[in-house]
Structure 1
């Protein structure tokens, strides 16, 4: 009968629960911290991380994009990618305007998969916050990597060099 009184006692059950809580806290105190102190410590991202879009160029700095507009057609965000082009006297495509609204992009990667010349890729850059929406609309100059940066990207990601 005394045992049943101790079992039903709220003080005893409260002490047991406090002991369980202290046990859990003490186990977690011995583990290494999981939280990163961002932005002082940058997270390690996979090579396959879907971040900011970029346009790769040829080694000489000329456009690699052939203006097929496959990326614009496959994009689920309507009018996200806008391409205007013309052909020069040698019938080669010349890109007049290439813009992407990064504020509307859902980072699905469809545009990078469908590109026949692999000129549009996703970088590991995820810090895209800005004070205006217009700053997130990137033109060809804002999207393009230089020839040297494009070559370095291709080398680190195992892509063929474009001449």
Structure 2
């Protein structure tokens, strides 16, 4: 008779434990019900990138001195720098500069180590194409400034968690220190 009583006690303990697990999972589900959705409808809504976002590289042809530091610090030797040496002025003349964004890992080493600051990272992240050869940008395509997401009236921007609207127009960004 005692084994039967202990069996009922074990059954009761297992039932209480199962009810507790179900209750805990239901509380977690309800706590997520108040949150705003994280996903965005991409072609119609675009998120505003942070200030340190590593997007497409912008190149200023006039500032480049063809020192090839960007090629040496790149982990995959990606930038292609064509130049010729002018003997009379003892200087390098830049002929062509190109980067293949199909191979680029967007590490930012080329931008960080450039001595003349002719390279910079933009906030442009839409580089999708149907042909991978279109991702090879020359100095003309690299020199084009990206269209700002904020200035485009056809796109509804979605504020990130780092840019919360506070006090009717004041925004917090990643540089703002809060208490």
Normalized per residue, the structure richer in strand is 2
Using the TM superposition, name which of 127-136 and 18-27 deviates more: 18-27
Q: Does 1:110 align with 2:109?
A: yes
Equivalent residue runs for 1:10-159 within 5 Å = 10=15, 12-56=16-60, 63-78=62-77, 80-86=78-84, 91=89, 93-145=92-144
Q: Does 1:7 align with 2:15?
A: no
Tell me how many residue pairs correspond in the alignment.
139
1:8 positional shift = 3.5
Higher relative contact order (CA 8 A, sep 6+): 1
Alignment deviations for residues 64-85 of structure 1 (CA, whole Å, 9 cap, x no partner): 211111111211113x111112
Unaligned runs of 5+ in 1: 58-62, 147-163
Q: CA RMSD, aligned part only?
A: 2.6
2:81 is paired with a residue whose SS is strand
TM-score (norm 1): 0.72
Unaligned runs of 5+ in 2: 146-179
**Contact 1:56–1:145 (CA under 8 A) maintained in structure 2:** no
- Judging changes above 3 Å, is the alpha-carbon distance between structure 1 residues 68 and 17 closer, same or farther for their aligned structure 2 residues? same
1:87 positional shift = 5.3
Whole-Å Cα distance in 1 between the matches of residues 14 and 104 of structure 2? 59
2:45 is paired with a residue whose SS is coil
**Consecutive aligned runs of 4 or more in structure 1 exceeding 6 Å deviation:** none
TM-score (norm 2): 0.66
